Amino acid sequence: MSVEYTTRDGVAILALHNPPVNGLNLASRQALVELLECANEDAQIKAIVVTGDAQAFSGGADIREFNTPLVSQEPTLPSVIAAFEQSHKPTVAAIDGLALGGGLELALGMNHRVASANAKIGLPEVKLGILPGAGGTQRLPRAAGLEIALNMIVSGAPVRAKELANTRLFDRVVDGDVVAAAVALAAEKARGGELPRIRDWKVEHPNAEGFLGFARMQAQALSARYPAPLKCVDAIAAAVKLPFDQGLSVERESFGLLLLSPQSQALRHGFFSQRAAAKIADIGAEVALREIQRVGVIGAGTMGGGITMNFLNVGIPVTLLEVKQDALDRGLATIRKNYENSAKKGKLTAQQVEQRMALITPVLTYDALQDADLLIEAVYEDFAAKQAVFEQLDKVAKRGAILASNTSTLDVNRIAATTARPHDVLGMHFFSPANVMSLLEVVRGSATAKDVLATVMALAKKIGKTAVVSGVCDGFIGNRMIEQYGRQAGFLLDEGALPAQVDRAAEVFGFAMGPFRMSDLAGNDIGWAVRKRRASERPDMIYSKTADKLCELGRFGQKTGKGWYDYRPGERNARPSPEVDAMIENHSAELGVTRRKISDEEIVERLVYALINEGAHILEDGIAAKASDIDVVYLTGYGFPAWQGGPMFYADRVGLYNVLAAMRRYAKGYQGAAWKPAPLLVRLAESGETFNR
């Protein structure tokens, strides 16, 4: 049963039962309407309570119905809300856990609401490029007040019920049994009196016009990339100025327009792609997970310390290994400093800082790792160094322990082969800073056991990471693709562009950082080391020499105060460098290349289409299981603009035929050999298909 019906002291209790978050699917909507009618017709019933469970009242629309006819089949959510508003017996929402999106809108349609103090309340639709479509923009301002409602709806951020206790939204906010409190309130209201409806209330605010004007001005600044916030403000303004039903019409019209917008389509693609990334075709629920009670981390440097914090944050103890005491001390000090900085910002208490630090066991010998269930190597990106670590781990790790490498490029199968237990080995490529970045590439080796992969994917979710499975290749998904992006950036310099123009064009497109600012931040010497390795491994892989010349000048980026740009002490502002610009122009002359004016459009196409083409190779090679996995990697780890949906989604929107035509045009120009199209791209373009089917 999607809704369970019980009674208590003459009150009908309708409890949503649709795990995991009581999504309002068609079966739940039908059951709510039918059981509401039953309760209204039963003379023994005085009032009606709707609830969920301790995890969720309701998380809103059931995502499993998205993009299917079921989502719009009657009774729709507005129809369900209308049925509750028309009930001739008092209705009370008993909210525990989450009340988000349509779940909150359902509660807003009832006469009364009771919530547990820590229940999370919100309308997050704006994060999907839409707005609440079942009266949320009309009822929440009437119930919670204009400023609170506008902030909640435009940001999409949830708030605790206790923060709304002084508004008209809740009749009672309790610390105990929320259903018992709701039943008591229902019985009280059943004794007589009016049945209040939020739709009949007025929005109260001393200067609504001025506040809305300020909010509209802020939203307009984002409207080209994110039209939803401005539409939210307009819908909320309708709640202030118009009768309820007219305001509802404004909301529904805006909802329909936003639903069809390219930005919303891209944001929804990203949302569903992240959930799809967790599903692995050959691993089902029957695969039992290994128990992870303690983690060992080898290396207390920047990556090792950040990785350690992920586990401490969720209460998992970590044995942290370094081979030298001073390195171990530095690592511990950095972790403590990070936590203390969070405490200064009010994100942690001093007690929580000490609790997390107490979960670390600092050690200097491998023997101390014998109790760890998962061991993560986080040493220098060099095969010999990692081989030495895994040979030691193979000797000391207990049977059944998972051995993971934080490598960003190296062959996980070679690493696994250094042990007698390759089935227990995989890659866990965290992104820097590891305690902040959400992406985790989980690299599945040829021998990796299914339960090892399933365990790490589940653990990734526990520590708040977005995990994507990659096969074994140089650079996996993200770094393999970014190499082609970087190559094109270099060729653009050879032909006529300068770093500031390339970065500006990329950032106008929506990247968080252009390629040269990004390289300065990461350290130009890192790419230099990769290119030196490539010289022997892949002599066919040609790069612009400008980046090498830059490093030969000692310009390694922000850490040296000069890279592609100049940086003043204590600042991160990138200032164009006359020295670098002159070096680039001189290098073009050395090559015999006549520099030309390059449009921003060409810059963006060459950067993004290089990603797309390599992504097609990755799909064809089986490194990524699906195109949407590639999009997730770039949306969560490489700053690809969310409103563009990821490189493969963007290719589908532009049209693969158009992408291929542009690539063939660029293949006739400078370093045209880099534009050899992936066979998969050609095949899909010629058949009129897309990457994301």
**Annotated catalytic residue, options 41, 65, 125, 204:** 125
Smallest Cα–Cα separation from 617: which of 443, 481, 491, 467?
A: 481
User: Are 97 and 141 a contacting pair, CB within 8 Å?
Assistant: no
Residues 6+ apart with CB under 8 A from 582: none
Q: Is 552 a catalytic residue?
A: no
- Smallest Cα–Cα separation from 338: which of 323, 325, 348? 348
Q: In terms of Cα–Cα distance, which of 597, 624, 613 is closest to 654?
A: 613
d(CA 453, CA 94): 39
Question: Would you give the distance in Å from CA 364 to the centre of its chain?
Answer: 36
322 tagged catalytic: no
Structural tokens at position 103:
């779940």
Phi/psi at 87 (nearest 5 deg)?
-60, 140
Closest CA to 52 of 96, 8, 7: 96
> Residues 65, 74, 105, 441: which is the catalytic one?
105
Cα 474 to Cα 217, 233, 485, 503, distances in angstroms: 47, 47, 15, 26
The Cα-based distances of 130 to 256, 272, 448 in angstroms read: 9, 15, 41
The helix/strand/coil state of 506 is: helix
Interatomic CA distance for residues 43 and 40, integer angstroms: 8
Task: For residue 463, give the nearest of 443, 438, 444, 442 by alpha carbon.
Answer: 438
Which residues have a Cβ under 8 Å from the Cβ of 673 and sit 6 or more positions away? Answer: 542, 667
Q: Alpha-carbon distance 173 to 145, whole Å?
A: 17
Question: Do the beta carbons of residue 529 and residue 551 sit within 8 Å?
Answer: no
User: Which tokens in the block code for residue 39?
Assistant: 């309760």
What residues are annotated to the active site?
A: 105, 125
